[in-house]
Structure 1
Amino acid sequence: MVFKKFSTVLAVAVAVVATFSNGVDSVSASSLPRVHAGVHRTLRAQGTVNLIVTMKEGTEKTLATVKEAAFSDRGQQIASMVDALEQSAKKSQGSVTSLLSQEAATSEPLFKTTTSFWVSNQVFIEGATFELIEKLAQVDSISEIREEIVVKLRKPVVSDAVASNFTTEAVGTAAIIAPTNPKWGVKMIQASDVWATGNLGQNVNVGIIDTGVRSTHVALKGNFLGDFGWYDPEKKAAAPYDPDGHGTHTTGTVAGGNGIGVAPGAKWLHCKGCRTDDCTESDLLACAQFMTCPTNPAGTKKDCSKAPRVINNSWAGDQGDTFFNAAVKTWVAADITPVFANGNSGSKCSTAESPGDVSDVITVGATDSTDTLADFSSRGPSIGGLLKPDISAPGVRVYSASWVDDSSYRYESGTSMAAPHVTGAIALLLSAKPTLTYTQVKSLLYTTADRSGLGATGQTCGGTSDSKFPNNQYGNGRLNILTAVKK
Structure 2
Amino acid sequence: MLGRSRARASTRFAVLSVLVLTTGVLLASAPAASPSPSGSLAKVDASVLRQIHVNGSARFWVLFRQQADLSRASAIADWTARGAFVVDSLKAVASSSQRAMRAELAGSHVAYRSFWIVNGILVTRGTAATLEAAAARPEVSRIAADWHGFVIMPLKGRRIKSIGAVEWNIKNIRANKVWKLLGDRGAGSVVAAIDTGAQFDHPALVNAYRGNQGGGSFNHNYNWWDPSHICPQPKPCDNVGHGTHTMGTMVGRAGVNKIGVAPNAKWIEAKGCESNSCSSSALLSSGQFMLAPTDLNGNNPDPSKRPDVVNNSWGSGSGSDTFYQATVNSWVAAGIFPQFSNVNAGPNCGTVRAPGSYINSYGAGAYDINNVIASFSSRGPSPFGGEIKPNISAPGVNVRSSVPTNGYASFSGTSMASPHVAGTIALVISKNPSLRGNISQLRTIIDNSGIDVNALTCGGTLDDNNVFGEGRLDAYAAVLSAASLGGSEATAGLR
Q: For this structure pair, what is the TM-score category when the shorter chain's length is used for normalisation?
A: 0.7 to 0.9
| Paired residues of 2:151 and 2:276 also in contact (CA < 8 A) | yes
Q: Counterpart of 2:37 in structure 1: which amino acid?
A: A
After superposing on structure 2, the runs of 4+ consecutive aligned residues of structure 1 that deviate more than 6 Å are none
Q: Counterpart of 2:394 in structure 1: which amino acid?
A: A
Alignment pair present for 1:257 and 2:279: no
Count of aligned positions: 429
Q: Counterpart of 1:386 in structure 2: which amino acid?
A: E
* CA separation of 1:241 and 1:87: change in aligned 2, threshold 3 A: same
Q: Any residues of structure 2 matched to 1:89-168 within 5 Å, and which? A: 89-104=94-109, 111-112=110-111, 114-159=112-157
Q: Counterpart of 1:297 in structure 2: which amino acid?
A: L
* CA separation of 1:180 and 1:87: change in aligned 2, threshold 3 A: farther
For residues 68-91 of structure 1, the C-alpha deviation after alignment (integer angstroms, 9 at most, x for no partner) is: 5x45x2012211321121111100
Report which of the two structures shows the higher radius of gyration computed on alpha carbons: 1
Give, in whole Å, the separation in 1 of the partners of 2:252 and 2:225. Answer: 19
Alignment pair present for 1:476 and 2:467: no
Alignment pair present for 1:370 and 2:370: yes
* CA separation of 1:158 and 1:44: change in aligned 2, threshold 3 A: farther
Number of the residue aligned with 2:409: 410
For residues 434-456 of structure 1, the C-alpha deviation after alignment (integer angstroms, 9 at most, x for no partner) is: 111110000011111112xx5x6
Residue 47 of structure 1: how far off its partner (Å): 3.6
Give, in whole Å, the separation in 1 of the partners of 2:229 and 2:164. Answer: 38
Give, in whole Å, the separation in 2 of the partners of 1:48 and 1:255. Answer: 45
Residue 272 of structure 1: how far off its partner (Å): 0.5
| Paired residues of 1:368 and 1:395 also in contact (CA < 8 A) | yes
| Paired residues of 2:157 and 2:397 also in contact (CA < 8 A) | no
Number of the residue aligned with 1:460: 457
Q: Any residues of structure 2 matched to 1:277-426 within 5 Å, and which? A: 277-317=276-316, 318-384=318-384, 385-403=386-404, 405=405, 407-426=406-425
Give, in whole Å, the separation in 1 of the partners of 2:407 and 2:82. Answer: 41
* CA separation of 1:337 and 1:80: change in aligned 2, threshold 3 A: same
Number of the residue aligned with 1:229: 223
The sequence identity of aligned pairs, in percent, is 37
Q: Any residues of structure 2 matched to 1:190-229 within 5 Å, and which? A: 190-196=174-180, 197-226=182-211, 227-229=221-223
Q: Counterpart of 1:118 in structure 2: which amino acid?
A: W
For residues 387-427 of structure 1, the C-alpha deviation after alignment (integer angstroms, 9 at most, x for no partner) is: 00010000001101112x1x211111000000000000100
* CA separation of 1:66 and 1:383: change in aligned 2, threshold 3 A: closer
For residues 15-70 of structure 1, the C-alpha deviation after alignment (integer angstroms, 9 at most, x for no partner) is: 333xxxxxxxxxxx6xx7701001022234444322111101123x2x124455x4
* CA separation of 1:161 and 1:50: change in aligned 2, threshold 3 A: farther
Give, in whole Å, the separation in 1 of the partners of 2:158 and 2:73. Answer: 47
For residues 195-229 of structure 1, the C-alpha deviation after alignment (integer angstroms, 9 at most, x for no partner) is: 11221111111110001111111111111112311
SS of equivalent residue, structure 1 residue 470: coil
Q: Counterpart of 1:125 in structure 2: which amino acid?
A: V
| Paired residues of 2:36 and 2:42 also in contact (CA < 8 A) | no
For residues 337-367 of structure 1, the C-alpha deviation after alignment (integer angstroms, 9 at most, x for no partner) is: 1011011111111111111111101110001
Alignment pair present for 1:245 and 2:241: yes
Give, in whole Å, the separation in 2 of the partners of 1:326 and 1:425. Answer: 25
Give, in whole Å, the separation in 1 of the partners of 2:101 and 2:243. Answer: 35
| Paired residues of 1:211 and 1:243 also in contact (CA < 8 A) | yes
| Paired residues of 1:33 and 1:138 also in contact (CA < 8 A) | no
* CA separation of 1:235 and 1:161: change in aligned 2, threshold 3 A: farther
Equivalent of 1:49 in 54, 58, 61: 58
Give, in whole Å, the separation in 2 of the partners of 1:252 and 1:217. Answer: 9
| Paired residues of 2:159 and 2:400 also in contact (CA < 8 A) | no
Q: Return 367-376 or 44-53, whichever deviates more.
A: 44-53
Number of the residue aligned with 1:15: 37
Residue 159 of structure 1: how far off its partner (Å): 4.6
Equivalent of 1:186 in 161, 170, 194: 170
| RMSD, matched Cα | 2.2
Give, in whole Å, the separation in 1 of the partners of 2:42 and 2:360. Answer: 28
Give, in whole Å, the separation in 1 of the partners of 2:167 and 2:159. Answer: 16
| Paired residues of 2:365 and 2:418 also in contact (CA < 8 A) | yes
Q: Counterpart of 1:15 in structure 2: which amino acid?
A: P
For residues 99-146 of structure 1, the C-alpha deviation after alignment (integer angstroms, 9 at most, x for no partner) is: 112122xxxxxx33x222111211112122222112212211100011
* CA separation of 1:274 and 1:236: change in aligned 2, threshold 3 A: closer
| Paired residues of 1:369 and 1:396 also in contact (CA < 8 A) | yes
| Paired residues of 1:210 and 1:314 also in contact (CA < 8 A) | yes
Equivalent of 1:34 in 43, 66, 76: 43
Q: Counterpart of 2:168 in structure 1: which amino acid?
A: W
Q: Counterpart of 2:226 in structure 1: which amino acid?
A: D
Q: What TM-score do you get using the length of structure 1 for normalisation? A: 0.84
Equivalent of 2:86 in 81, 86, 90: 81
For residues 292-330 of structure 1, the C-alpha deviation after alignment (integer angstroms, 9 at most, x for no partner) is: 111112101222111011110001111211111111110
For residues 221-259 of structure 1, the C-alpha deviation after alignment (integer angstroms, 9 at most, x for no partner) is: 111112311001111751111111111111111111131
SS of equivalent residue, structure 2 residue 322: coil
Q: What TM-score do you get using the length of structure 2 for normalisation? A: 0.83
* CA separation of 1:66 and 1:363: change in aligned 2, threshold 3 A: closer
SS of equivalent residue, structure 1 residue 39: helix
Q: Counterpart of 2:250 in structure 1: which amino acid?
A: V
| Paired residues of 1:33 and 1:142 also in contact (CA < 8 A) | no
Number of the residue aligned with 1:485: 479
The answer for unaligned runs of 5 or more in structure 1 is 1-9, 18-28, 105-110, 167-178
Give, in whole Å, the separation in 1 of the partners of 2:204 and 2:293. Answer: 23
Q: Counterpart of 1:310 in structure 2: which amino acid?
A: V
| Paired residues of 1:390 and 1:476 also in contact (CA < 8 A) | yes
Q: Counterpart of 1:289 in structure 2: which amino acid?
A: Q
